[in-house]
């Protein structure tokens, strides 16, 4: 029953979010600000995380698949596919849900408890649309770029890792990267990233928007926003994988 209530309330909120904006110019300006804050602000952390993930995947593959029956280029191949299919989009999204999601929930939650959202409503502004929509659009646009950066940096991480592993040569790693490459997998990952962007921003916003109480409740809402975002990301990941890869 509670789940149905939340689904209904979420639906009503999204209807308000995607209703006609009060002012397109203001929406565009806010969207650019959010692109800077949510997108560009996340690049460094994503680069650090995916670099080390790529390196670890390459080393583990090299150590675990060391066999005369397995071609050496398998390391590059596995690293590439792991990074492109999962790590660049899903793992990045999970990390961003933690960083951006909690940020969004607490920002909107604070606006709720300090009556800033009420002040907007009194002015005749659609508070949901003017606060949440720029965030959804911004991350929707920026997420594919973040994922592409994650792919490049992750694969580079694997490359640098192979320099320290005796069993794989750089030549084999590069050959493996090119082996049986399917651009469709990149497309699949980018589509996933767009869906994850919507989940992170909308779910976190929802939890912040309906906060009641004080600072403690804002913190709880922020945690809930992150948890539900991650669960929904993983569910959506399974669904999209069934849809696009099977």
Partner 1 sequence: MIEVIGLNKTFGNKHVLQGIDFTINKGMCNLVIGQSGSGKSVFLKSVVGLHPVDQGQILYDGRDLTKLKHNQLKALRKEIGMVFQGGALFNSSTVEENIKYPMDVFTKWSKKEKQDRIDFCLDRVNIQNSNHLYPSEISGGMQKRVAIARAIALNPKYLFFDEPNSGLDPVTAIVIDDLIQEITKEFNITTMVITHDMNSVMEIGENIMFVYQGNKWWEGNKSMIFKTDNTELNNFVFASDLFKAIKTQVS
Q: Is 124 in the site for partner 1 (CB under 8 A)?
A: yes
Minimum distance of partner 1 from residue 116's CB (angstroms) = 5
| Cβ proximity to partner 1, 36 vs 118, nearer residue | 118
Minimum distance of partner 1 from residue 77's CB (angstroms) = 47
Q: Which of 9, 64, 114, 164 binds partner 1 (CB under 8 A)?
A: 114
Q: Which of 45, 125, 148, 198 binds partner 1 (CB under 8 A)?
A: 125
**Within the chain, how many helices (H) and strands (E) appear?**
11, 0
Q: Which of 115, 171, 178, 182 binds partner 1 (CB under 8 A)?
A: 115
Q: Is 89 in the site for partner 1 (CB under 8 A)?
A: no
Report the alpha-carbon distance of residue 37 to residue 99 in Å, rounded: 12
The answer to whether 150 touches 88, Cβ cutoff 8 Å, is: yes
Q: How is residue 192 written in tokens?
A: 């996933």
Q: Is 217 in the site for partner 1 (CB under 8 A)?
A: no
Minimum distance of partner 1 from residue 39's CB (angstroms) = 18
What is the CB neighbour count within 10 angstroms for residue 13? 17
- Binding segment toward partner 1, per CB under 8 A, in 39-47, 74-82, 111-119, 171-179: 111-119
Minimum distance of partner 1 from residue 210's CB (angstroms) = 15
**Whose CA is closest to 57, among 179, 144, 165, 148?**
165
Report the alpha-carbon distance of residue 124 to residue 127 in Å, rounded: 9
Residues ≥6 apart with Cβ < 8 Å to 191: 240, 244
Minimum distance of partner 1 from residue 29's CB (angstroms) = 8
Looking only at residues 5 through 64 of this chain, which bind partner 1 when binding is defined by CB under 8 A?
22-23, 25-26
HEC letters along 36-89: HHHHHHHHHHHHHHHHHHHHHHHHHHHHHCCCCCCCCCHHHHHHHHHHHHHHHH
Residues that bind partner 1 (CB under 8 A): 22-23, 25-26, 110-111, 114-116, 118-119, 121-125, 130
């Amino acid at each position: 029953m509670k789940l149905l209530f939340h689904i209904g309330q979420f639906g009503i909120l999204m209807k308000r979010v995607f209703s006609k904006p009060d002012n397109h110019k203001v929406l565009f300006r806010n969207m650019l600000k959010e692109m800077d804050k949510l997108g560009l602000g996340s690049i460094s952390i994503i680069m650090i995380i995916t670099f080390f993930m790529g390196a670890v995947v390459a080393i583990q593959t090299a150590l675990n698949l060391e066999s005369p029956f397995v071609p050496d280029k398998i390391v590059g191949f596995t690293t590439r596919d792991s990074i492109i299919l999962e790590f660049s989009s899903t793992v990045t999204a999970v990390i961003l849900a933690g960083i951006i999601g909690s940020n969004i929930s607490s920002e909107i939650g604070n606006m709720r408890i300090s009556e800033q959202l009420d002040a907007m409503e009194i002015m005749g502004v659609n508070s949901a649309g003017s606060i949440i929509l720029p965030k959804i659009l911004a991350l929707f646009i920026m997420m594919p770029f973040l994922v592409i950066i994650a792919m490049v940096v992750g694969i580079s991480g694997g490359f640098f890792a192979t320099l320290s592993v005796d069993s794989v040569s750089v030549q084999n790693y590069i050959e493996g990267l090119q082996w049986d490459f399917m651009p469709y997998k990149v497309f699949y990952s980018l589509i996933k990233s767009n869906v994850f962007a919507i989940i992170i921003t909308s779910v976190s916003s929802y939890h912040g928007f309906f906060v009641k109480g004080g600072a403690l409740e804002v913190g709880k809402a922020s945690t809930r926003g992150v948890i539900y975002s991650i669960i929904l990301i993983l569910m959506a990941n399974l669904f999209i994988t069934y849809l696009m890869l099977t």
